[in-house]
Amino acid sequence: MSNTMCKAAEIADGIYAVGATDANETRFHGYHVNRGVTYNAYLIKGNNGKFTLVDTVRKEQSEQLVSKIRSVTDPKNIEAVIINHTEPDHSGAFPEIMKLCDPAVYATAAAAKFLKNMFGADASTVKNGDQVSIGGRTYVFAATPMVHWPDNMVTYLPSEKILFSNDAFGQHYASKEVFDTLSDVNVALEEATHYFANIVMPYRAQAAKAVQAVKTLKLDMIAPSHGTIWTEHIPDILKLYDALCSGQGSDATLVYDSMWGGTAQRADEALAELGKRYQSIKSFDLRNAHMSDVMAALSASKHVCIGSPTYNSRPTPRISTLLAEIEALAPPLKEYSIFGTFGWGGGASKKISEKLDALGLEKTFDLTRIS
């Protein structure tokens, strides 16, 4: 590990980014990520010379966190740890930190319960709107339940106008730079969409409330627990979240699988049909596309067009997984269409229809036919 990787970045006066980066990681709890991962944590110096740590990192990255903290101060000077969310990507290194200092721990009641269960640790519980003074700095906590776990909160530092937003507004983007102004902002926004689609989308109603609350704050920085820190592009990320949380999609996404190529050959026909009604259409061949990228496209889609051969009287396993993900992640779909081929009795089309009808989508066309 190089020295630069282990040095904290000062993002504001006395406030340091001390999180971990893993540019080579391609998976995040089972789904595919395209540009590595980061687990952001922040160290804040109080007027008393002591420090507050906001969030930790994944257990495997503990060393990177500790060495970045050491580049600022001896960890024993940490007097408080704020845990916004106890999912292992943010709490994994918590026990390691607790070995090095004896801090007060702040968390929501739900997070405190999880910390007790996972690590036997005690935390002071904070509620929505609570203000706590630590080391002469005021911290304001806002509960954001189910964005995307029951324990989530965000932490606001009014004096610096910084919101530590944890998973909200995060992205799997292992940029070398910490700020949106230095990273490729279009990539950051694309990865924010990908992140939202795969993690936050089923809870968009709760996320919408959190976004409205965030808009009432004076903000110079939104510092999430994954990816780039938003500064100049705060309006862009808020606009993106407004769109993603709206439950309205305007695009179409075409997704297919194929065993011998027959269904794949018919994709153009389906595309032409879709082209009559949709301007923006993304197409995915599940034989080589990642499901997480499909879900990112679906997060802005009104229509899904699914192509499947019949495989033992049903859609192929990859298409079955797609249907399960549509049910689990609930993209804002209103309509669907189908294409594909079968050798004798068929069955894929019927099973796809049953599933999507049950989810309240309307069928617009079915181009399935015998091979």
Ligand X SMILES: Cc1cc2nc3c(=O)[nH]c(=O)nc-3n(C[C@H](O)[C@H](O)[C@H](O)COP(=O)(O)O)c2cc1C
290 catalytic, yes or no?
no
Give one word for 207, left, alpha or beta, with left for phi > 0 and alpha for psi -120 to 50. alpha
Least distance from Fe ion to the Cβ atom of residue 89, Å: 4
Which one is catalytic: 172, 194, 226, 303? 226
Out of ligand X, Fe ion, none, what residue 167 binds, judged by CB under 5 to 8 A for its kind, is: Fe ion
Active site residue 172: no
Spatial neighbors of 259 by CB under 8 A, at least 6 apart, are 309, 311, 316
Q: Is 349 in the site for ligand X (CB under 6 A)?
A: no
The torsion angle over the Cα atoms of residues 89, 91, 96 and 100, rounded to 10 degrees, is 130
Q: Smallest distance from the beta carbon of 344 to ligand X, in angstroms? A: 4
Instruction: Say whether 148 is catalytic.
Output: yes
Cα(186)–Cα(202) distance, integer angstroms: 24
**Residue closer to ligand X, measured from CB, 291 or 319:** 319
Would you say 16 or 342 has its CB closer to ligand X? 342
- Quick one: which of 156, 150, 149 has its CA closest to 132? 156
Biggest alpha carbon distance in the chain? 77
Question: Which one of ligand X, Fe ion, none interacts with residue 24, CB within 5 to 8 A by kind?
Answer: none
| 342 near ligand X (CB under 6 A) | yes
Query: Binding string to ligand X for residues 248 to 287, with x set by CB under 6 A, is what?
Result: ----------xxxxxx------------------------
Out of 313, 328, 357, 362, point to the residue binding ligand X (CB under 6 A). 313
For Fe ion, the closer CB: 112 or 323:
112
Stretch that binds ligand X, among 63-71, 247-255, 269-277, 344-352 (CB under 6 A): 344-352
Please tell me which residue in 195, 241, 256, 278 is annotated as part of the active site: 195
Query: Nearest distance from residue 90's CB to Fe ion, in Å?
Result: 6
Residue 276 contacts by C-beta under 8 Å, 6 or more apart in sequence? none
Binding span for ligand X by CB under 6 A among 68-76, 232-240, 242-250, 340-348: 340-348
User: Could you give the string, one character per residue 291-310, with x where binding to ligand X holds by CB under 6 A and - elsewhere?
Assistant: ------------------xx
Task: Please name the residue ranges forming H helices in the chain.
Answer: 62-70, 88-91, 94-100, 109-119, 185-195, 204-215, 234-245, 262-265, 267-275, 291-298, 317-329, 348-358
Pick the closer one to ligand X by CB: 212 or 265.
Answer: 265
Instruction: Report the C-alpha gap between 358 and 355 in whole angstroms.
Output: 5
Which 120-159 residues touch ligand X, going by CB under 6 A? none
Q: Determine if 347 is a binding residue for ligand X (CB under 6 A).
A: yes
Residues that bind Fe ion (CB under 5 A): 87, 89, 167
Task: Using the Cα atoms of residue 184, residue 186, residue 189 and residue 191 in order, give the sign of their dihedral.
Answer: negative
Beta carbon of residue 321, minimum distance to ligand X (angstroms, whole number): 17
Determine the residue type at 265.
Q
Residue pair 335/359 in contact (Cβ under 8 Å)? The answer is no
CA-based nearest residue to 54, from 189, 221, 286: 221
Of residues 213 and 259, the one with the C-beta less far from ligand X: 259
89 binds, among Fe ion, ligand X, none (CB under 5 to 8 A by kind): Fe ion
Stretch that binds ligand X, among 12-20, 129-137, 296-304, 337-345 (CB under 6 A): 337-345
**How far apart, in Å, are the Cα atoms of 190 and each of 93, 171, 241?**
28, 8, 12
* Beta carbon nearer to Fe ion, 79 or 89: 89
User: Could you tell me the smallest distance in angstroms from the CB atom of residue 349 to ligand X?
Assistant: 10
Query: Counting contacts by CB under 6 A, is residue 346 touching ligand X?
Result: yes
Q: Is 209 helix (H, G, I), strand (E, B) or coil?
A: helix
Rounded CA-CA distance 254/278 in Å is 11
CA distance 166 to 178: 15
Kindly state the smallest distance separating residue 297's Cβ from ligand X, in Å: 21
Residue owning tokens 């689609």: 197
Q: 78-82 and 51-54: which strand pairing?
A: parallel
- Asked if 303 is an active-site residue, the reply is no
305, 337 in Cβ contact below 8 A? yes
Task: State the residues that interact with ligand X by CB under 6 A.
Answer: 258-263, 309-313, 341-347, 371
Positions marked catalytic: 29, 85, 87, 89, 148, 167, 195, 226
